[in-house]
Amino acid sequence: MAPLPAIHCERLTKVFHIHHGAWRRLRAAFSAGTLEGQQRLLALSAVSFTLARGESLGIVGPNGAGKSTLLKILAGILAPTSGHLAIHGKVASIIELGGGFHPEFTGRQNFFMNGAILGFAPSQLEAMYDRVVAFSGLGSFMEMPIKTYSSGMWARLAFSIAIHMEPEILLVDEALAVGDAIFAHRCLGRIHAMKQSGVSLVLVTHDVNAVKQMCDRAMLIDQGQAVALGPCDEVLLTYQTMVAERLTEGGGTDADPPFHRIGAVDVTGAAGDLRYGTFEAVIEGHTVAAADGRRTAQFQPGERVAIAMVVSIHRPIEDAVFGIMLRNRFGIEVFGTNTMRMGRRCGPFGSGQTLTVRFEMDLFLADGVYAVSLAVHTPDGRFFDYQVEATFIEVLGPVHSIGVAHLPMTLTLTPGGDPGAVETRTPAPAGPVSAQVIA
């Protein structure tokens, strides 16, 4: 027997009835049939799809297309007017981050409230609490009323709660756009990991890149109808074409901006405190600077960055490996290396010694925020100190490209059709990655 699909829906239709006047509203509410002369609003019209276990579907479409209505029906919040819906598995929905929070209560109290709404017993929540706090990075803020939180902290708490409810099907609506870039980074990484472990995902978003990177398939909804359903590339192309057409048609008031960029974020925010190791060698601090020594966390594509960490040795170490890893906001490792891979042997170090390890590289990366993880470990991979997401850097350039990397390139237009006349030029060779160990 084939495993049941996570979601199976056939011809889901939702009609909203609009009534004017209290008496008509009351009559409509308590009568089984439909009343005459009521205004009908077709929010969703015969949408069908099947989502297999572990599969992910991105739903895109202009505002008011019916995306959120569909998600609410899948979540069980709204009842469909007609159609068939079968869901197999535990559903967690993030329709709006912190939709059930009470501003006067502390983060801790809100966690227990929210957990109870989601149907968890206090004992289960108690067991979950530490992990949620660790993930949210809110620490002692959990004991403060959340009205004192920034919107980013608010979002962090909400997302941490939802993500730790261990659902089998995760429904996410636009939630990734709020909150600070650093946390969004971590959330996307987590969703990615959940996907790997077999969680089905439905993502409603305007972020075309998010759909591309996280979803197996995409669906385009327009005016309540599923206009396209299929591979991401095709559907997103249809969507972008549609958006472009509407923009040219008039004013573009109907469509959303097709590309969502994080851009110009404040990356000075508190970085994560996920850290582990034996601490026989400790990363005491780190700096991110431009090649000229200017301290910054924002770079243009291709700009040279210097990432340095100060390490103190607490026990004689024969052989140490210093490493660095850059991950993009989807948690994908875009670049990582260490002194061992570079053929550089470091050590031995005596107890009490301090050293600075400096990595310099050219950031030929696409726009976005990148998490920098730093590590000191033995050649066989035992960590002395591993700081996950120790700091963040942002790459933001004048040339907007698509993809993960921003390869150094030039563009040349030459008249004539002879391929031989097309001359490719390479830019001045950029310096390779260098690691310096100053003991």
Partner 1 sequence: MNAAAPSRPLFLRLPGGSFLHERQLWRHRRLLLQMVRADLRSRYVATSMGFFWSVIHPFLLLLVYIFVFSVVFAQRWEERGGFHFQGNYAVFLCCGLLPWTWLNESLIAASNSVVAQGTLIRKNVFPVVILPFQPILSGLFHFSIAFALFLVYRVATFGFPGVEIALVPLVVVLQAALLMGPALLLATLNVFWRDVSQILTSLLMLLFWLTPIIYLPDMFEPALTARFGASAYGALIWFYWLNPVYHLVALYQRLLFYESIPAWQPAIGVSAGYLLLLSAAAWFLARRLFGRALPRIVEMV
Distance between CA atoms of 227 and 221, rounded to whole angstroms? 6
Coil/strand/helix, residue 220: strand
In order of 108, 136, 263, 306, 365, the CA distances from 437 in angstroms are 44, 34, 33, 13, 25
Helix (H) or strand (E) holding 159: helix 151-163
Judged by beta carbon, residue 35 or residue 430, the one nearer partner 1 is 35
Q: Of 10-49, which residues contact partner 1 (CB under 8 A)?
A: 16, 22, 25-26, 28-32
Paired tokens of 358: 């400096």
In the Cβ-directed half-sphere of 221, how many Cα atoms lie within 13 Å?
28
Q: Specify whether the backbone of 40 is left (phi greater than 0), alpha (psi in -120 to 50) or beta.
A: beta
- Measure CA of the first residue to CA of the last residue in the chain; give whole Å: 63
Pattern of binders to partner 1 over 110-149, x per CB under 8 A? --xx--xxx--xx----------------------x----
Q: Does the protein bind partner 1 through residue 274 (CB under 8 A)?
A: no
DSSP bridge partners of 374: 324, 387
Q: Which of 48, 50, 63, 96 binds partner 1 (CB under 8 A)?
A: 96
Shortest distance in whole angstroms from residue 31 CB to partner 1? 8
* One-letter amino acid of 300: Q
Q: Does the protein bind partner 1 through residue 76 (CB under 8 A)?
A: yes
Q: Of 395-414, which residues contact partner 1 (CB under 8 A)?
A: none
Distance between CA atoms of 335 and 233, rounded to whole angstroms? 25
Q: Does the protein bind partner 1 through residue 381 (CB under 8 A)?
A: no
Judged by beta carbon, residue 67 or residue 406, the one nearer partner 1 is 67
Q: Which of 4, 35, 264, 332 binds partner 1 (CB under 8 A)?
A: 4
Q: Does the protein bind partner 1 through residue 75 (CB under 8 A)?
A: yes
Paired tokens of 222: 């327009």
Calculate helix-pair angle for 151-163, 181-196, nearest 10 degrees: 10
Shortest distance in whole angstroms from residue 187 CB to partner 1? 18
- Choose the stretch contacting partner 1; rule: CB under 8 A; options: 70-78, 178-186, 220-228, 400-408: 70-78
Q: Does the protein bind partner 1 through residue 78 (CB under 8 A)?
A: yes
Helix (H) or strand (E) holding 385: strand 383-395
Q: Which of 46, 52, 95, 274 binds partner 1 (CB under 8 A)?
A: 95
- Choose the stretch contacting partner 1; rule: CB under 8 A; options: 98-106, 217-225, 279-287, 409-417: 98-106
Judged by beta carbon, residue 89 or residue 152, the one nearer partner 1 is 89
Distance between CA atoms of 274 and 272, rounded to whole angstroms? 6
Instruction: Name the residues that contact partner 1, by CB under 8 A.
Output: 4, 16, 22, 25-26, 28-32, 75-79, 85-91, 93, 95-96, 99-100, 102, 104-105, 109, 112-113, 116-118, 121-122, 145
